[in-house]
Structure 1
């Protein structure tokens, strides 16, 4: 008996399947990439042409790309825990895993082909050229024998990064002659630049991983949503050049190429389209006038903006970068002015006062990180003011506890603090300021009081003082639902 199911074949080679057809195909042999989408989703629409192009390119390799419309196949999407669109999953041999590559056709093709290869490909003279040309970034280990301890190290690295890069291993003396290499050695081959880079560090996992992450970056790239994660994970400082036109981009790529070579591995030079991503300049403490340049340290998020009163050309930038790598530059901090007075019930903190007011204080400090536009922050404000007034107006309470707030959109936040949404509330206990405790309970005055009492170093309990406050203040607090929702960044 033949199973009849519905398949819609588009002009490209993407299959749009219903639940019955999906289950039938996935249970068979083969490699599949599945996009769970919604027709109204903007990101899905942007992905569509790339996905279709990739489907055509992969068809001849026996790799199938599938779409599932989650507005129709709701049960199927619930089965695979689809919570956002598009969600991409790789299916192979009855199991599935998230797709973790960029959403460009060439990247999709490269990622899916890697799923058909072993973690490390054995390289001989016959397949060397084909393998070297099979991916943008190739890492090959040349070993006299497979018993070399470097083999295990190389395999561990390949297992972690197989979806991003291709890894090969050769013990063939004929290959050694062709490449003119003496084993043991590790080479990186970069197709776009038609170069190979020799690894000269210690044969230790951390050093080899750092080499892979830094040297795999383009000599002079472009910072885009799909490339941002690669630059961040490399931990190499990024030299961001904001440009406002294609002509300006080409001009800087040509004139600054020698600097990209000179500072390779120390600073990764990239262009940023200011017409699309100019807002990032403010994150780097730059004014939105173009062109502009700043160095961003990805590991610490320290920022070193180039003086915008100076002309941005190769000579000035060379001096700036030389001073940076020599440790002569001081990072800038975005900060509001220091408050002239602290008349309000809640102490106002800015970046330039964070250390003095929060970290160096002998008090337990409850600090709210907020954004002026955040609706949840606005709802919290009346209750937070009541809390602040409670501690500020009572000497016994206020001598050991401070209620404070900081506008996290107008002030740089210390690197060790992770603010994922607004409001974020943390308690900096007097005896452990380096490890603040995030508050995730109901946003009521009573709950804040209990949190400070239980988690603060001084164990201050303000509940009896709060209960003697006028009932109108307590009523304004009890009207809140106690929501712990956040406005995302």
Structure 2
């Protein structure tokens, strides 16, 4: 390629990148969130990697949702300081009535869209029996409280916890003449659970927190100790692409559900946490890859790289470990990809 051609391509690429965000001025921002207008606002610092990663997720939403705004905190530093923006990106929903709600979920287009829909509803949607079935499927995670009017204290507690977690789940309620109960619908994982013994003061918060835990979570430094201290073995899946990790979650749900009492399945962003792979017997830089760790005994079992990562294969590999048919990793990386201590049946 000629230098002039390369320069032209590079120039177009830079122009595309710079013009991708369409930032709003401080004056237009204040106008947008006043007068009963709602808006979802991304406060960003364009040079940071997390903000650059958000860009590709944000733009497709902005094409269809006209209530999205982005603020460049490098040029609107005073405004961002006024709203206590200390990390980037920060996403907040302004309801047009002076209310503001932070978004703490995944920075993915689908998750952000779901949050925007929740934000436009009250913290707790009042339901009738006719609307019950439809509302139970309105989101990935839905809580529905069947409230006896005599249990006013539970109603208040439910309203409080719904306001706390509305950015990540949908909450509804309806009256019942029977015993008060709360039902959780984890629609992506096709799981349902309920609680009716709400006498303990922490019963409802614990139930909500447990139900909101994904069947297959994303392993990070922030939640590392939670997983390592859970008393379960861990199945790690490393990949450099979110597409691979999302596909793994969809594929492994049946296996994760089958073994959830004994195993925690997690995905790992190999770009950010690639250094965690080597101690798990995964050759540096060889992704995607899977490994099983038993924290209690300090054992790891790298998954044979020659095998496809299917639900059937991984399920069989886990059973082979349980039955002692797979030897723990000896600390040496195999020269040959097929040189793994796994006895095929």
Shorter-chain TM-score bucket reads: 0.5 to 0.7
Whether the 8 Å CA contact 2:219–2:267 is kept in 1: the answer is no
Which of 251, 267, 274 is equivalent to 1:278? Answer: 274
Shift in CA distance, 321/308, structure 1 to aligned 2, threshold 3 Å? same
Equivalent residue in structure 2 for 1:51, among 58, 67, 78: 58
Count of residues in Structure 1 that have an aligned counterpart in Structure 2: 290
Query: 2:232 aligned with 1:240, yes or no?
Result: no
What secondary structure does 2:75 align onto?
coil
Q: Deviations over 1:209-249 (max 9, x none)?
A: 33333333343x25266x97599599855723235698999
Q: 1:96 to 1:151 in 2, by over 3 A?
A: closer
Please state how far the C-alpha of 1:144 moved relative to its aligned partner: 3.6
Aligned 1:308-457 pairs, distance under 5 A:
308=302, 314-315=315-316, 317-318=318-319
Which runs of 5 or more residues in structure 2 are unaligned?
1-18, 284-288, 306-312, 325-345
Q: 1:41-440 alignment to 2 at 5 Å? A: 41-59=48-66, 64-92=67-95, 93-145=97-149, 147=151, 149-171=153-175, 183-199=179-195, 203-219=199-215, 221=216, 223=218, 232=226, 236=230, 237=232, 239-243=234-238, 259-264=255-260, 267-272=263-268, 274=270, 277-281=273-277, 285-289=279-283, 290-295=289-294, 304-308=298-302, 314-315=315-316, 317-318=318-319
- Deviations along 1:342-398, whole A, 9 cap, x unmatched? xxxxxxxxxxxxxxxxxxxxxxxxxxxxxxxxxxxxxxxxxxxxxxxxxxxxxxxxx
Distance 1:319 1:140, change over 3 A: farther
| CA-CA distance at 1:136 after TM superposition | 0.9
- Deviation at residue 273 of structure 1 after TM alignment: 5.5
The change in CA–CA distance for 1:230 and 1:150 in structure 2 (over 3 A counts) is: farther
CA distances 1:447-473 after superposition (whole Å, capped 9, x unpaired)? xxxxxxxxxxxxxxxxxxxxxxxxxxx
For the residue of structure 2 that corresponds to 1:268, the secondary structure is strand
1 CA distance for matches of 2:123 and 2:245? 42
| Residues 222, 147 of structure 1: alpha-carbon distance in 2 compared, 3 angstrom cutoff | closer
Distance 1:23 1:145, change over 3 A: closer
3-state SS in 2 of match to 1:16: coil
What is residue 34 of structure 1 aligned with on the other side? 41
* 1:96 to partner: Cα distance: 3.7
Q: 1:261 to 1:294 in 2, by over 3 A?
A: same
Q: Aligned in 2, Cα 1:224/1:251: closer, same or farther, shift over 3 Å?
A: closer
Q: Larger Cα Rg: Structure 1 or Structure 2? A: 1
TM-score (norm: length of structure 2): 0.66
Change (3 A) 1:91 1:101: same
Q: Take 1:163 and 1:279, find their aligned partners in 2: how far apart are those partners?
A: 32
Answer whether contact 1:36 1:69 (CA < 8 A) is retained.
yes
Instruction: Return the offset for 1:320.
Output: 5.6
Structure 1 stretches of 5 or more lacking a match?
Answer: 1-11, 174-181, 297-301, 324-489
**How many angstroms does 1:34 deviate by?**
1.7
Contact in 2 for aligned 1:50/1:105 (Cα 8 Å): yes
- Is the contact made by 1:35 and 1:87 (CA closer than 8 Å) also made in structure 2? yes
CA distance in 1, matches of 2:320, 2:211: 23
Structure with greater contact order relative to length (CA < 8 Å, sep ≥ 6):
2
Which residue number corresponds to residue 331 of structure 2?
Answer: none
Distance 1:39 1:310 in 2: 41
Measure the CA separation in 2 of the matches of 1:76 and 1:149. 40
2 CA distance for matches of 1:232 and 1:75? Answer: 38
Contact 2:218/2:266 (8 A) holds in 1 = yes
Distance 1:159 1:218 in 2: 20
TM-score by length of 1: 0.49
Structure 1 position 105, deviation (Å)? 1.6
* Counterpart Cα distance in 2 of 1:152 and 1:162: 15
Question: Does the 8 A contact of 1:15 with 1:65 survive in 2?
Answer: no
The answer as to whether partners of 1:125 and 1:172 remain within 8 angstroms in 2 is: no
